Structure 1
Amino acid sequence: MPLNLIKLSVGSESVDTLANWQRTVRARYQDGLPRHVTRMWPKRAEEVLAGGSIFWVIKGAVQCRQKVLRFDEALGDDGILRCAFVLDPELVPVVPSLKRPFQGWRYLRPEDAPIDMDPERATEGALPPELSVALAEIGVL
């Protein structure tokens, strides 16, 4: 089973705001794919690239995931070489689960990853983030 990553989406208010931000960032790359640039290169990259995703924590809950396509080198404006997580543009809604804040990105074992939202429920329209978190706290979602 592939290994996943988990990351806080700092500044995102919802899955839609994450998608909007990625569309603006995507315009900077020739291939049109969204990226997340980070300082650390995953030591377990092969396990992630075997079909893993990055799960995004938004407003205290894991709310969506994106498949990780590859890792590219990215040279920062400061001349420091970094790692760019190249992502599939599709944001897949997951059943929200609470997650406390943490620094950077972390590995997420497949058995700990939230499951994908039922496609019928995903098209209902997103709940307000506060309501999703409240429902996840009481185990309804």
Structure 2
Amino acid sequence: MPLNLTKIAFGAKSYDDLAGWFEGRGGARLTTRNRPTRHEEVVGGSLYWIINHAIVARSPITGFVKTDDGRWDICLEPRLIRVHQIPKRAHQGWRYLTEDKAPKDVADGEDIGDALPGKLAMKLERLGLV
């Protein structure tokens, strides 16, 4: 079972903002200073994107490449897969996410309706209402 990463979609205000970043790209890369310690387990997993305190989408991870300046590129498939939103606190950098805690993909043609904003969903979950 592959391991996944989570990351804040910095600058994206909505799923559509993030989807616009992916449009027209032959491949997507994110640069990071340090390669994840468990990078071998992450290849084949996904990078789950967080917007407004909720995981909203994922991108499959294809590998890691060292750059000329000593940093690392996380190589992603150039597609964005929408998932059922789940609340997730903001964090810096990336964090690991196991498969059993990862949200399910939204099926083709499935209507996800109006999703609760992440902060509201977290508060309702703490109260045991969601």
Specify if TM > 0.5: yes
* Kept after mapping to 1: 8 A contact 2:52/2:117: no
Does 2:88 correspond to 1:88? no
CA RMSD for the aligned pairs?
2.4
Change (3 A) 1:126 1:20: farther
CA displacement at 1:36 relative to structure 2:
0.8
Match of 1:97 among 86, 108, 113: 86
Amino acid at match of 2:33: R
* One-letter amino acid matched to 1:113: A
CA shift in 2, pair 1:125/1:111, >3 Å: closer
1:45 paired residue number: 39
Aligned residues: 126
Structure 1 stretches of 5 or more lacking a match? 27-31
Q: TM-score, normalised by structure 2?
A: 0.83
Superposed, which structure 2 residues align to 1:56-67 within 5 Å? Answer: 56-67=49-60
1:33 to 27, 31, 35: 27
Q: CA deviation at 1:74?
A: 2.0
Distance across 1 between alignment mates of 2:93 and 2:73:
13
Q: Matches of 2:73 and 2:19 in 1, distance apart?
A: 17
- CA displacement 1:1-52 (0-9 Å, x = unmatched): 000011011110112211222347x4xxxxx201111111012111111x20
**Counterpart check, 1:112 vs 2:93:** no
Contact 1:23-1:34 at 8 Å conserved across structures: no
Counterpart position of 1:69: 62
Between structures 1 and 2, the one with greater helix share: 1
Q: Counterpart amino acid of 1:120?
A: G
User: Aligned partner of 1:110: which letter?
Assistant: E
Q: Which runs of 5+ in 2 are unaligned?
A: none
C-alpha distance in structure 2 between counterparts of 1:125 and 1:14, whole Å? 15
Contact 1:35 1:85 in 2 (8 A): yes
Percent of aligned positions with the same letter in both sequences?
39
Confirm or deny: 8 A CA contact 2:52 2:119 kept in the other structure: no
The one-letter amino acid of 2:49's match is W
CA distance in 2, matches of 1:7, 1:58: 9
- The structural deviation recorded for 1:68 is 0.2
